[in-house]
Amino acid sequence: QVQLQESGPGLVKPSETLALTCSVSGASMSSGTYYWSWIRQPPGKGLEWIGYIHYRGSTNYDPSLKSRVTISVDTSKNQFSLKLSSVTTADTAIYYCARAGITGTVTTSWFDPWGQGALVIVSS
Amino acid sequence: SSELTQDPAVSVALGQTVRITCQGDSLRNYYASWYQQKPGQAPVLVIYGQNNRPSGIPDRFSGSTSGSTASLTITGAQAEDEADYYCNSRDSSGDYVFGTGTKLTVL
């Protein structure tokens, strides 16, 4: 059973860089056609897709965050990471990591499983 | 980027059938996936693709698509189905987008 777990600082100062790591257990990140993803949810609001990385290193980011986001992977540790630079209070959210699956025809995709989420507060 | 629109809130009487909809142009080419989120918990995948349920999801959950509208149907809603529901799909750029979310109340 694949499990994901987020870790990182829960408090970040404005203008600094938010950094989180997702540890994957129960399966190798290098197996299967999966995209390892970050999703966030501001308090009381909806889900926002941030971006994903394939184990070979290809990435895709939400256009609105692209200039500030970097997602990287360390297959030797079975982990992937998120960095979000120049944060503001608007970046306060629960950050989830999730595995994205996709069929060969790319018409079908899904996020499963999800980590439990990590609350990151941006405040001085 | 693309957008997916959902009704903010829907209610259903216990044991009745409810349909939650998701509208967006990307759904003409890509199937929606659906997520259930209960307070304080991470989202859980309930439906993906044409109408696929992950292991452990009750068969009262089903999905369908017509044109630019995807639907999640709960047949015989239970008290434990009260939650927020989000749709999601890819778009032609390979980006993902989540719907605005629907709060389901079971009366």
**Average pLDDT of chain A?**
95
pLDDT in tens, B40-91: 999 999 999 999 999 999 999 999 999 999 999 999 999 999 999 999 999 8
pLDDT value of residue A106? 72
pLDDT over threshold 90, residue B94: no
Distance, C-alpha A112 to centroid of its chain: 13
Q: Across residues A53-69, what is the average pLDDT? A: 95
Q: How many A/B residue pairs have CB atoms within 8 Å? A: 73
Q: What is the pLDDT of residue A103?
A: 84
Q: pLDDT of A24-57, one tens digit each? A: 999 999 987 899 999 999 999 999 999 999 999 9
For the beta carbon of residue A83, count every other beta carbon within 10 angstroms.
14
At residue B1, the pLDDT reads: 64
Asked if pLDDT for residue A77 goes beyond 80, the answer is: yes
For residue A17, give how far its alpha carbon lies from the nearest alpha carbon of chain B (Å): 23
Q: How many CA atoms lie within 13 A of A19 on its CB side?
A: 3
**CB proximity list for B12: less than 8 A, separation 6 or greater:** B18, B74, B77, B104, B105, B106, B107
Q: Please say if the pLDDT value at position A61 is more than 90.
A: yes
**Nearest of A66, A68, A36 to residue A54 by alpha carbon:** A36
Percent helix, strand and coil across chain A, each to the nearest 5: 0, 50, 45
| Residue from B2, B96, B103 whose CB has the most chain A CBs within 10 Å, to mutate | B96
**Model confidence pLDDT, tens digit, residues A8-18:** 999 999 999 99
* A33 inside 8 A of chain B by CB: no
What is the reported pLDDT for B93?
Answer: 87
- pLDDT (mean) for A85-102: 97
